Amino acid sequence: MTILVFKNLENILNKNSYDVQKTVADLQKFIQKRTEYISLIKTTSDSLKKLNIKPHFHSDNTFEVGLLMPNELTNSKITNITKELNNWDKVFKTLKELTSGSVDDTEINFVNNGSLEFFIDNGPQIAICLAVTVERIIKVYKNIVEIRIAKEKLKDLGVSTGEQKDIERQEKDILEKGIDTIAADIIKEFSIKQLDSGRVNELRIAMKGHITYIAKCIDNGMVIEINPPEIPEPSEPKETDSDEKKNEVQKLKENYDKTLEQINIVQKSMDTVKTIGKTGVDIVKYLTEGENLND
């Protein structure tokens, strides 16, 4: 939201840089709309409080992964929605096996029908693994988009078709190497030691497919969000507490600090993700054929 506000202000200031009166008028109009918006948010918040409707957050170390699927991706067809959910089920199963050694079916905990958004509860390790994966995909994605933009500029300048093809080949190499690197790094950073080398290699191959699929989802406008829990800070032990009580409080404090660190990692990664939206540039067109990118 803050980034969008700054972009709007920047556009206003740059649009009519030589017309001070127009700039002032646009700024006043923006301030008025912004004030109305903030007032509406406050009124809505106050109304929800009066109705005793509280925000939904987990109070333990459960992270909530949200998948918002735009209508352009699913066309509101059950077959398309099912295909996307099945693909994400494979992603979560791989992450679960990678981080814990177990494989469970993915459960949908909440569905938002205002826009088609599915929420799935996960533990902190899976949340961190997914957040870091998406962040690194976004960085590769951004590099490819910048190459595409530069290529279009060179095309306008009359660069030959042969040289444009060379750029496309380099683009493909960068993307393939980027995906390989992300998959290898995720395996190295998050896989548990109990997995044998053969299975680790299989999971690395699976991760490459998942990374390509997630990149495609992002490119098609899917929003991936990870909502951290809101955990209460434990109270400090009292002098009069027993040793057992003090140890219990100390353990709660350690768990709190650990979860807080996990939340910070996820939020840092997701902040990076939020800075880049849909560009309409299909960055994986050279790597995939057919519909199911996870097979």
99-112 tens-digit pLDDT: 999 898 999 988 87
- SS3 of 159, please? coil
pLDDT of residue 61: 84
Reported as a pLDDT band with limits 50, 70 and 90, residue 245 is confident
pLDDT of residue 140: 86
pLDDT of residue 174: 85
Domain borders along the chain are: 1-54, 59-274
CA distances from 270 to 25, 130, 139, 191, 226 (A): 35, 10, 12, 21, 7
Residue 119 DSSP one-character state: E
pLDDT of residue 6: 67
Tokens of 253: 């404090």
pLDDT of residue 287: 44
Instruction: Give pLDDT tens digits for 180-192.
Output: 999 999 999 999 9
Instruction: Give pLDDT tens digits for 52-92.
Output: 877 677 778 899 999 989 888 888 899 999 999 999 999 99
Pairing outcome for strands 110-112 and 223-227:
unpaired
Are the beta carbons of 264 and 61 closer than 8 angstroms? no
Are the beta carbons of 248 and 242 closer than 8 angstroms? no
Residue 62 DSSP one-character state: -
Which of 29-43, 178-192, 275-289 comes out lowest in average pLDDT? Answer: 275-289
Which of 7-21, 32-46, 220-234 comes out lowest in average pLDDT? Answer: 7-21
H-helix or E-strand containing 67? strand 63-68
pLDDT of residue 295: 45
Q: Is 104 exposed, middle or buried (CB count within 10 Å of its CB: 0-12, 13-18, 19+)? A: exposed
Q: Does pLDDT of 17 surpass 70?
A: no
Which residues, including other chains, have CB under 8 Å from residue 31's CB and lie 6 or more apart? none
- Distance between CA 36 and CA 47 in Å, rounded? 16
Query: Which amino acid is it at 28?
Result: Q
